[in-house]
Chains A and B, each alone.
Chain A
């Protein structure tokens, strides 16, 4: 919304972007993308969240570098000297910023390395889940009839599958030796992602289907059809942009869920295998001795908490910023 912006913020924004397009010598109206950036920047929490996520992602990518910079010994080295005289782990110290775990591994290194697993699992399964769910929901809602019947009944069937039971089944069947189906399914990140996607795509599918059912009756869909638009164009160019809010909301609430799913699956033995670190696995391990070794639970827990919060802030700001009717501008 270009109305009601104070001169101050206008100048500021133009100074910052420095790329306001000019049409025939006059100030051009802002493009949707500029509007989005402008609105997004208004949200301080979102900026903080984005910065935090950036730090986490960079730390995950450059984990070895970060560890060596801090002087941490890396995630796999079990250092007997870090345990006290009773063989118990020691808390945070200058040698081990976040303390060490049961067998003397550096918690700081494990949190940094664990971000890799958690983020990959969360992002990949979130993208897959949303993509499959949104496409299925769009098709079911737009075409209705038998397409809807097939998709909706499939969704119902999938909803009946308890994901933990599936995970336990997979774990007991496939976690030994070479895995099952000729080594195709064995514990690891791909199986975690597959299990999460397999059991979760139904939620966005249902949400989107419901939205599309009401959207498709709007006159702008008729208008587009009367212009000669193809079904593909109507579904992806007319309907999809109207679904950004539910999709972003779903994605941002699902990301933290996926991180937690991963930890549960790892705990059950379908997920990443020790000694690979993941936040979920660390929390699961730490739950046994939370009373005496608080640091082993606290640091991966904080990492999880802040990441989840940051995703939520960013998602929230994106929903607002993508909505042309939003008042904040």
Chain B
């Protein structure tokens, strides 16, 4: 499958090398959804801590992946970034401008710069509008290309660019397949030539064969338009294919941020280790036996998360201190930031991921090798 191919020239080092300020800086971002009781006189009795004090930055032109289980706050983060939700506290600085503090007009201007591709291609397109009017909506909202002939020409160019037949502009969304609908969503998102594209699980509703096409479309557009991409997913192999760096979230916290090659070969946070060891291996008998690290129990409720390290209730390495003191997101090795008192050691990673560690020490050049190649080499070496 072409998912395993990584087009060259999008390595993590390339993005981090230039000294330009990051496109987006997220500082101590918090989003709590209040839980209320009562009908007329509502009383807040608690809060779902969907996103709880996260900080990260996205460099210009890079692809940042955000992964995590359902309910860990990935989509909330995405919606906060484009301010579909108002943050409870914290800052999102986009290109020097605070997104959370922007007023109505500033926000409208900001929305020209950042766009979102949605998860569900079935509900993200208005069923009563033609594809043409859906894709030209950005122009209508921002009062661009006032002449309808001009607008239609641009719409057809966009449709052609994302791989749709430009003659279909008068069709309705339901006449298209899931993959085509997602292309319509992408065309709408790139219509204003934004700097940032936030893709919230853009392929999780699609067939596997279609996923690769849409992913390659996104990569191609990124290269052509110099887009910065925030890519949210729960499919780890998709993220590896797409992303320069990956942030792992658990219960509203970012637990690890690392360049994707480092993360996939040498995860430091036990949660990341568990996620990666749950990925099915293509050749279960060909590779070395591995001890899958299975997490027990459920994700705790975000309304009442565990104290200190949120993962300590399910962590195989948890000790006393993990429930007392919250670990900070710190540099553990290479470029790998992890929030853990007892990060995984090489031996532990080897047990969990027989395919990993092949190029840990010098992981900067590791992005040429795919997962399957890694596995065969490690199995032959043992």
Residues in chain A within 8 A of chain B (CB atoms): 1-3, 23, 26, 28-32, 149, 218-220, 222-230, 233, 238, 241-242, 244, 324-325
Q: Which of A149, A220, A229 has the most CB of B within 10 A?
A: A220
CA distance A233 to B108 in the complex (A): 13
Known pairs A29-B167, A222-B84, A228-B107; A325 contacts B174 (CB<8 A): yes
B118 at interface, CB cutoff 8 A:
yes
Contact A227 B120, beta carbon cutoff 8 Å: no
A29 to B176 CA separation, bound complex (whole angstroms): 15
Q: Which residues of A contact B175 (CB under 8 A)?
A: 1, 3
Taken together as a complex, chains A and B put the C-alpha atoms of A108 and B247 apart, in Å, by 81
| Contacting residues, chain A, for B138 (C-beta < 8 A) | 227-228
Determine the chain B residues whose CB is within 8 A of the CB of A31 once the complex forms: 170
Q: Which of A29, A324, A325 contacts B169 (CB 8 A)?
A: A29
Q: A219-B118, A241-B128, A241-B129 are in contact. Are A226 and B170 (CB under 8 A)?
A: no
Contact of A32 among B82, B116, B142, B170 (CB under 8 A): B170
Judge if B123 is at the interface, Cβ distance under 8 Å: yes
B138 CB to nearest chain A CB (Å): 5
For the complex formed, measure the closest distance between the CB of B372 and the CB atoms of chain A, giving whole angstroms: 35
Q: Which residues of B contact A223 (CB under 8 A)?
A: 116, 118, 124-125, 185, 188
A228 with B111: in contact, given A219-B123, A220-B125, A223-B116 (CB under 8 Å)?
yes
Are B174's CB and A225's CB within 8 A?
Answer: no
A227 touches B115 (CB 8 A): yes
Report the contact-size class of chain B (Cβ under 8 Å from the partner): 35 or more
CB distance from A23 to the nearest CB of B (A): 8
Q: A30-B170, A228-B111, A325-B172 are in contact. List 4 more A-B contacts (CB 8 A).
A: A29-B169, A29-B171, A219-B124, A226-B116
Report A50 CB to chain B, min CB distance, Å.
23
Given A26-B167, A220-B123, A222-B118, A227 and B128 contact (CB-CB distance below 8 Å): no
Contact A228 B108, beta carbon cutoff 8 Å = yes
Tell me, yes or no, whether B220 is within 8 Å of chain A by CB: no
Question: A227 near B126 (CB under 8 angstroms)?
Answer: no
Given A226-B84, A228-B112, is A219 in contact with B170 using a C-beta cutoff of 8 Å?
no
* Among A32, A229, A324, contact of B141 (Cβ-Cβ < 8 Å): A229
Interface membership of B119, Cβ < 8 A:
yes
Name the CB-closest residue of B to A241.
B128
A180 to nearest B CB, angstroms? Answer: 37
- The smallest C-beta distance from B204 to any residue of chain A, in angstroms, reads 13
Q: What distance in Å separates the Cβ of A295 from its nearest Cβ neighbour in chain B?
A: 48
What residues on A are CB-neighbors of B120 within 8 Å?
219
Q: Which of B84, B127, B168 contacts A225 (CB 8 A)?
A: B84
* The residue from A219, A229, A230 contacting B119, defined by CB atoms under 8 A apart: A219
CB neighbours of B174 from chain A (8 A) = 324-325
The contact of B127 among A32, A226, A325, by CB within 8 Å, is A325
Chain A residues, CB < 8 A from B142:
228
Smallest Cβ-Cβ distance to B174: which chain A residue = A325
A28: B residues at CB distance < 8 A:
167, 170
Q: List 20 A-B contacts (CB under 8 A).
A: A29-B168, A29-B170, A32-B170, A218-B123, A219-B119, A219-B120, A219-B123, A220-B123, A222-B79, A222-B116, A223-B116, A224-B137, A226-B84, A226-B111, A226-B116, A227-B141, A228-B107, A228-B111, A233-B141, A244-B128
How many Å lie between the Cα of A238 and that of B40 in the bound state?
Answer: 30
- Output the least CB separation between B153 and chain A (Å): 10
Instruction: Give the distance in Å from the alpha carbon of A220 to the alpha carbon of B127 in the complex.
Output: 9
Q: Which residues of B contact A226 (CB under 8 A)?
A: 82, 84, 111, 115-116
Task: Assess whether B171 is in contact with A227, with CB atoms less than 8 Å apart.
Answer: no
Complex CA distance for A30 and B125, rounded to whole angstroms: 20
A242 touching B108 in the complex, CB below 8 Å, given contacts A31-B170, A226-B82, A229-B141:
no
B76 within 8 A of A: no
Q: Which 3 pairs of residues, A with B, have the shortest CB-CB distance? A: A29-B170, A228-B111, A219-B124
CB contacts under 8 Å to A, within B99-155, are: 107-108, 111-112, 115-116, 118-120, 123-130, 137-138, 141-142
Within the complex, what minimum Cβ distance (angstroms) separates B41 from chain A? 12
Q: How far is the CB of B145 from chain A (nearest CB, A)?
A: 14
Min C-beta distance of A327 to chain B, whole Å: 11
B124 to chain A, nearest CB (A): 4
* Nearest-CB residue, chain A, relative to B149: A23
B169 to chain A: closest CB distance in Å?
Answer: 7
Docked-complex contact B115 and A242, CB < 8 angstroms:
no
Query: Is the Cβ of B126 less than 8 Å from the Cβ of A241?
Result: yes
Q: Which residue of A lies closest to B132 (CB)?
A: A29
